[in-house]
Structures are given as C-alpha cells and as structure tokens.
C-alpha cells in the first residue's frame, strides 16, 4: 500500500499549511493514521494520529497548533498546521496501520505503511 503526501511548501513563520495523505488502495475507516517528522537523534517521531474511532492524539505543542482530520469518505487524511515555527521545518511522513488503533501511537514500529514524505520549510 503506497501512501502519497502533498501540501508541503515554504512558508514564513506564523503561517499555515495543510498536508494531505491519500492511499488509493486503502480506506481509512478501519485504520489508524499518523503524521511523523524526523527529530534529531531520535529518528521519526509522531506528530499526530487519528484512529478508526476518530480519536486524535498529538505530540507536545502540536495539540495547540496542528489538527489531524479525515474527509467524510475517509480516503484522505489531513494535517492542518498553523502558527508555524522555524523548528517545524522537516519532511513530514504519513503512516498507516491496518488496525483500528495502535499503541504507542507515536512510534514508527506501530505503523505498516508509509509515504515518501512532503517537505515543509518555515523561514
């Protein structure tokens, strides 16, 4: 299953972006989805996740600035990022697990499928 991210780009600090993740062969109704980004010295770290029940989880201050959501058909997952900071600069990866929920949600090993990433640059 190939996940495809889009929506990355360059933005000034304080700006917003919305990332999208689609998987033509995957419906999200029975899957847990996550967004990750690399953290120096730690590899990829979870930014946000949404499980099959719609439970959303966030890491750190992402909870106050980012929103993970799905479209009504549950074929696209979004990450709306606001009040972007320079330290948010990273490649953002979409991940999927063919289970209704995962634990821990922020670990790479909890997910089976990955996209190639979309670059976000905040200046």
Say what the pLDDT of residue 2 is: 86
Say what the pLDDT of residue 33 is: 92
Say what the pLDDT of residue 27 is: 64
d(CA 19, CA 62): 14
SS3 string, 42-107, reads: CEEEEEEEECCCCCEEECCCHHHHEEEEECCCCCEEEEEECCCCHHHCEEEEEEEECCCCCCCCCC
Q: Compute the Cα dihedral for 98, 60, 64, 87 and give only its sign.
A: negative
User: Mind listing the pLDDT tens digit of every residue in the chain (123 residues)?
Assistant: 789 999 999 999 999 999 999 987 776 568 899 999 999 888 999 999 999 889 999 998 899 999 999 887 777 899 999 999 999 999 999 999 988 899 999 999 999 999 999 999 999
Say what the pLDDT of residue 71 is: 83
Which of 76, 89, 96 is CA-nearest to residue 35? 96
């Amino acid at each position: 299953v190939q996940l495809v991210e889009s929506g990355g780009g360059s933005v000034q600090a304080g700006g917003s972006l919305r990332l999208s993740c689609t998987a033509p062969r995957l419906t999200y109704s029975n899957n847990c989805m996550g967004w990750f980004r690399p953290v120096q010295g730690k590899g990829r770290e979870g930014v946000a996740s949404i499980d099959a029940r719609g439970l959303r989880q966030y890491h750190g201050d992402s909870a106050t600035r980012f929103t993970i959501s799905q479209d009504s058909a549950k074929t696209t997952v979004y990450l709306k990022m606001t009040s972007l900071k320079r330290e948010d600069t990273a490649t953002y990866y979409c991940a999927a697990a063919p289970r209704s929920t995962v634990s821990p949600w922020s670990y790479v090993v909890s997910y089976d499928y990955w996209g190639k990433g979309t670059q976000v640059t905040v200046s």
